[in-house]
Amino acid sequence: MSADTLPDLPPVAQPNADGDNQRQMTVVPAQSPRPGGIEELCEKFVTVCESAVHPLEIAGALEFDGWSDRAVRKRYGVSDVFALAEEMYRRVPRRPAEPAPQPDAWRISKWRPALHGVLYGLPTVCFTAAAGLLAGPNALTVMIVALLSSWALSQALAYLGYLRLGQGVPVQAQRVLLVGLGAGLAGVLAAMDIVSMLVLVYDQEFIFGVGLGSYMLGATVLLVLGSERLLCLALAPGVLGATVFLLLGRPSHLEHTTWVALAATPLLALGLAVARTSRGAGLRRRFTQARAKPTELLSAADVRAALPSAGFGLVAGGLLVFPVAVGTPGHAGVNTGALLASLPLALSMGAAEWMLVWFRRYTQRLLRTTCKLRAFATRARLLLAAALLQYLAATVLLTVAVVVVATASRLIDPQWTALPQIAAYMMLGCSMFVSLLLQGFGSRIFPLVTCAAALVLEILSRDFWVLGQIMVGTGLLIVLAGYAAFVLGSAERHSC
């Protein structure tokens, strides 16, 4: 058999001087490559060649296009596809294409945080009207206990609901919220029973405390499930009735009508929350499925994980209501400065929600555009400072708006002496914003412990009145902001 009739054989790897086998591009002597052929192939596969990090990627593209070892030997005079891929990899410089832009996971409607802020602030109108209707000696105590218990329980309920929604099981999230709603109502009733055993509580005050807790829990369920419109419907009778009652100067002949309007709001919130959680598959069908295929509604680990949220709700509520509870030195009745600051602070939670999303969005952009860790840390801390300043500016504007409206409607007669109390609430609001930001990035224990220590210090320094509140609030903000700058300067915290 002559050499011209020998069949094509694959190249044999020859050992080098070190004894290792290495592939070498073998050019078959009997065939000559077409001039410029490889260059044309490189132009055809230029995108693959420029983005390839190894010749194997080019070889895979060639084989996918139908090139075999025999075909490349006859066409280009090389031993096999891998040898051709190595030659193409050598000839084409690396110019990797930019990755496709990722969808913005933090894009939300601009109106949704504003609507949330309104929903957070509107109940304060109901509280103001109810405060004038509750005549018992311990009405303020009942209101404070109802607020603290419902804040703690609603924070835990919201955590569990969002946990199940984040796991992609909305039906189970509805079940958790429905069961949690019942457990929360039991907790509010227990808190009211304890208060009634310790101090004198009239029936009217007891019912108001239960109604307040019921509304908070029902509103939490509706917000977690994204049913803001239903919550607006539930708030409508109470807010409208309270507003008319206050604007008309609290006339005695409208007291019963106002109570009916106020009572309608928690009843509607509870009813709509139950309807929303049981919508879709019905309760009977859901329970049938649960018997057919047992699933754990909540584990002990889930309940333990919700405890920091409950504790933070309790502590944050304590910081917010403490100035109202202690009043002002030498003045009986309501703390006007606290009332002027509490409404804009509640409204500012909508701005806080927007700033949290804003901060998340821009730090995600930093992750994609910054190559150095130190540069990322510096820019992330600047974004944190910008978010905090924007929140403070929004709170100031809301406070001015509330003072102007309250003065024009003659609901209150503000005095310059209320400014220190408003400043104390602004420091507290900024601290709550930073705490929520830290919790959004997984730091839940530090804000809880820090805020609890601040509440203890504020109670111990109550003899200093508003000065002590300003000092504690400023110190709390400095500690939380410093910790946030340290923690959120790490790129690892933003990678999730």
Q: What percent of the chain has pLDDT over 70?
A: 82
CB 112 within 8 A of CB 224: no
| 339, HSE (Cβ side, Cα atoms, 13 Å) | 20
Write the pLDDT tens digit of every residue in 255-292.
999 999 999 999 999 999 999 998 744 554 554 444 43
- Specify the higher pLDDT residue, 183 or 111: 183
How many Cβ atoms are within 10 Å of 334's Cβ, its own excluded?
16
User: Which whole number is the average pLDDT over 160-184?
Assistant: 89
List all residues 6 or more positions away from 392 whose beta carbon is below 8 Å from its beta carbon.
426, 430
> For tokens 């709550």, what's the residue?
432
State the chain's maximal CA–CA distance in angstroms: 121
Nearest to 358 by CA among 387, 394, 379: 387
| 321, HSE (Cβ side, Cα atoms, 13 Å) | 20
CB 196 within 8 A of CB 229: no
Write the pLDDT tens digit of every residue in 76-98.
888 899 999 998 998 888 887 66
19: left (phi over 0), alpha (psi -120 to 50) or beta: left
The predicted model scores a pTM of 0.75
CB 352 within 8 A of CB 428: no
Q: What is the pLDDT of residue 19?
A: 43
List all residues 6 or more positions away from 194 whose beta carbon is below 8 Å from its beta carbon.
none
Q: What is the pLDDT of residue 241?
A: 92
Q: What percent of the chain has pLDDT over 90?
A: 38
Write the pLDDT tens digit of every residue in 117-147.
888 888 888 887 887 788 778 888 888 899 9
User: Which whole number is the average pLDDT over 16-33?
Assistant: 43
Give the range among 23-27, 421-425, 487-491 with minimum mean pLDDT. Answer: 23-27
Q: What is the pLDDT of residue 190?
A: 95
Rounded-to-integer distance, Cα 256 and Cα 409, Å: 23
